Amino acid sequence: MERRASGKSVLNLFGYTGAFALYAARGGARSTDTVDSARPAIASARRNFELNGIAAEGAGFHVADAFDFLEEAAKRGRTWDLVVSDPPSFAPNRSARENARRAYQRLHRLASAVTAKGGVLCAASCSSHVGRDEFLATIGAGAGRAGRRFDLEKVRGAGFDHPVIRAFPEGDYLKFAIGRVTSRP
């Protein structure tokens, strides 16, 4: 995050205690915005900046629903060079899969709309009931609905200390896709 953020504007959605924004600021981000619906989380994010000796100037902390924040930002034509979307699980069980796919697609449409052309979108999922390919498809479809294209650079998952065994494929639930958002050809 630090290397990619240097000189960039960064949006941290579902930011919780602001870790992505903190690392971006530490890496020289021009500005950061952290969005979370929980007031205590945003207070912790602000405090984490202070505890790490990072000036809060250039850092925005927003108590807001991420979807509402994105809708409003898109209406205003606001964009960021780097957008990180790391929501809680949208599919806590199999019966929630279809709703989760729709929610991811909507989220990725909105996130793509506020990612500057040529900017980077990092989209995460911790939903075990939405597979990797399904998740990646929601990013492409969401970007397409925003009139954009998502060019996947890489997909990461859990670290080596979080092995996935064949008998429990649901253990491969962490997904983190990184890609460029460009105009549609």
- Which domains are present in the chain? 2-183 (3.40.50.150)
CB 134 within 8 Å of CB 155: no
pLDDT in tens, the chain (185 residues): 788 999 999 999 999 999 999 999 999 999 999 999 999 999 999 999 999 999 878 899 999 999 999 999 999 999 999 999 999 988 888 888 899 999 999 999 999 999 999 999 999 999 888 889 999 999 999 999 999 999 999 999 877 777 777 787 777 788 999 999 998 76
**Which residue pairs from 132-137 have beta carbons closer than 8 angstroms and sit at least 24 positions apart in sequence?**
132/157, 132/172, 132/175, 134/101, 135/104, 135/175, 135/177, 136/175, 136/177
User: End-to-end alpha-carbon separation of the chain, Å?
Assistant: 28
User: pTM for the whole thing?
Assistant: 0.93
